Amino acid sequence: MKRFDSNKQKEKVYSSLVLVGIISSIMLFAGFSSAVLVTKMDKFWVNIHLPNEFIISTILIIISSVFLIFALKFAKKGLMKGLKTSVLFALIFGLGFGYFQIKGWYSYYNRGNALKSYITYVYGRYGEEYKVCHNKFPIEYDGENYQLRNKNISKELLDSVKLFVKEIANKSNYNNGSKLKIKNYSNPFTIYNVSKEEFLKVDENDFLYINGEPLTESAKEELFKFAFGLFNDQPFFMLKGKYGEDFSITLNGEELTFEKKKLYFPQKELNPEEKLAIDYVYFDPTLKQEYILENGKVFLNGKEFNDSIKIELNDGIVLNIDNGVWTRQKEELNPSQYGLFFSTANVSSSFVWILTIIHFIHLLFSLVGLTVVYNRSKKGFYGEENVAGLKAMIIFWHFVGLLWLYLYIFLEYIN
């Protein structure tokens, strides 16, 4: 095997290898980042507020990198004690970074952000097919709160409801053939089938049935998903938390508002570019007049029109125009948009997990490398004339830190 003639030669080779890896990683992240931006502007996208653990981990990796800068300075001066201490603290803070990264991504996953999932339940949404009743009175869900007789229910009552449906959400109970067993039914909770307008009942063995027949497999599956979503605080969205605070949804890059289980484009004043993009002829059937919208202006009979007017475009969007100010009214999604929404996967979560897996591979290699560097520093491997491996590892660690900073800032930006 060919030996290196000098430390400079080793530095050059090690640095070149690290540089090749860094450039490859940058290209990979750039490709995925571009795909994320294009996808976000083209369809439904879930915005997630990142867990606070990521802020802590960011601080820790910055501190770790600072210690490695000192470690390289100590090595070049031959100060072995300072080198070992600096690398040790860099490793400790690096492990802390990894720990809070795991905690952060665990919290992210527990909010309903799986590698592959839908934005909402395709089946089993609360109130779609089933709802829980309390003493025969239905408990409604408006997208934010559970209500009984038009009043928000207490946390204690909601906990009792969850305990009631927990038995249905139990997988072992679900796998019990076509029969679904539940104890303490009708005391005081029952389940109402919305489409059949019938209460589910139990026989003498506590098995659920409807209209005198056991539940079909499809009915049992939907009931299981209904109970699972209710028990896990996911009665409508697959995501957990409060809309607008913990997460939100955009369509074609525009954030939507959510009210009473309905999504809306918010009221918005159009900017000059958006006004110029509208080229439309509107005929008012009441006044028998034709208005032309072009170049950001409204024309009537060949003259500019500056009074107030309400115009409905072909796609259902309603504009209020008053003295040059164009305002789009608050508008609910149309049926085709709702159809797309209920069948759309949470692609933002999928992209984030792909980027995260790549990031974790880099982190794993860098922590292993940092451990090797620490063990070598204890044995006196590095010195004034031998810092090539140490320098290469430090460069890679700084890159991992910068990679995380980029990923964190990018995720905050797209959200």
Q: Each residue of 137-163: pLDDT tens digit?
A: 999 998 889 999 999 999 999 999 999
Report the percentage of the chain scoring pLDDT > 90: 21
Structure confidence at residue 216 (pLDDT): 82
- Whether residue 193 is contained in a domain is answered as yes
pTM: 0.73
Domain termination residue (choose one: 210, 231, 252)? 231
Q: Each residue of 339-394: pLDDT tens digit?
A: 889 888 888 888 888 888 888 888 998 899 899 888 888 887 777 777 777 888 88
- Residues 110 and 169 grouped into a single domain: no
pLDDT bracket for residue 209 (50, 70, 90): confident
pLDDT bracket for residue 75 (50, 70, 90): confident
Residue entry with tokens 């004339």: 385
* Beta strand extents in 149-294 (DSSP E only): 151-152, 189-193, 198-199, 201-202, 208-210, 213-214, 247-251, 254-255, 257-259, 262-265, 268-269, 280-284, 289-294
- Whether residue 136 is contained in a domain is answered as yes
Whether the Cβ atoms of residue 369 and residue 14 lie closer than 8 Å to each other: no
More confident residue, 212 or 73: 73
Amino acid identity, position 68: L
Structure confidence at residue 12 (pLDDT): 58
Q: Compute the distance between CA of residue 314 and CA of residue 154 in angstroms, rounded to an integer.
A: 45
Closest CA to 205 of 214, 197, 196: 214
Structure confidence at residue 10 (pLDDT): 55
- Residues 68 and 152 grouped into a single domain: no
Q: Into how many domains does the chain fold?
A: 3
Report the percentage of the chain scoring pLDDT > 70: 91
- Which CA distances in Å does 239 have to 120, 215, 247, 249, 408? 8, 29, 8, 11, 20
More confident residue, 117 or 7: 117
- Residues 222 and 136 grouped into a single domain: yes
- Whether residue 224 is contained in a domain is answered as yes
- Residues 63 and 22 grouped into a single domain: yes
Whether the Cβ atoms of residue 202 and residue 185 lie closer than 8 Å to each other: yes
Q: Phi/psi at 51 (nearest 5 deg)? A: -60, 150
Write out the residue range of the structural domain in which residue 31 sits. 7-117+346-414
- Residues 49 and 74 grouped into a single domain: yes
- Whether residue 86 is contained in a domain is answered as yes
Q: Tell me the CATH number at 406.
A: 1.20.120.80
Locate 363 and state its tokens: 């982190």
Q: Compute the distance between CA of residue 160 and CA of residue 188 in angstroms, rounded to an integer.
A: 10
Q: Is the pLDDT of residue 178 over 60?
A: no
Instruction: Name the DSSP class of 144.
Output: S
- Residues 95 and 11 grouped into a single domain: yes
- Whether residue 216 is contained in a domain is answered as yes
- Residues 96 and 45 grouped into a single domain: yes
Domain termination residue (choose one: 204, 231, 258)? 231
- Residues 147 and 102 grouped into a single domain: no
Locate 360 and state its tokens: 């974790």
- Residues 143 and 217 grouped into a single domain: yes
Whether the Cβ atoms of residue 224 and residue 129 lie closer than 8 Å to each other: no
- Whether residue 336 is contained in a domain is answered as no
Q: Is the pLDDT of residue 84 over 70?
A: yes
- Residues 19 and 112 grouped into a single domain: yes
- Residues 151 and 103 grouped into a single domain: no
- Which CA distances in Å does 388 have to 21, 64, 70, 381, 394? 17, 19, 15, 11, 10
pLDDT bracket for residue 1 (50, 70, 90): very low
Q: Compute the distance between CA of residue 18 and CA of residue 251 in angstroms, rounded to an integer.
A: 40
- Whether residue 249 is contained in a domain is answered as no
Whether the Cβ atoms of residue 374 and residue 394 lie closer than 8 Å to each other: no
Domain termination residue (choose one: 185, 211, 231)? 231
- Residues 95 and 142 grouped into a single domain: no
Structure confidence at residue 120 (pLDDT): 86
pLDDT averaged over every residue in the chain: 84
Mean pLDDT of all residues in 108-119: 84
Q: Compute the distance between CA of residue 125 and CA of residue 226 in angstroms, rounded to an integer.
A: 6
- Whether residue 362 is contained in a domain is answered as yes
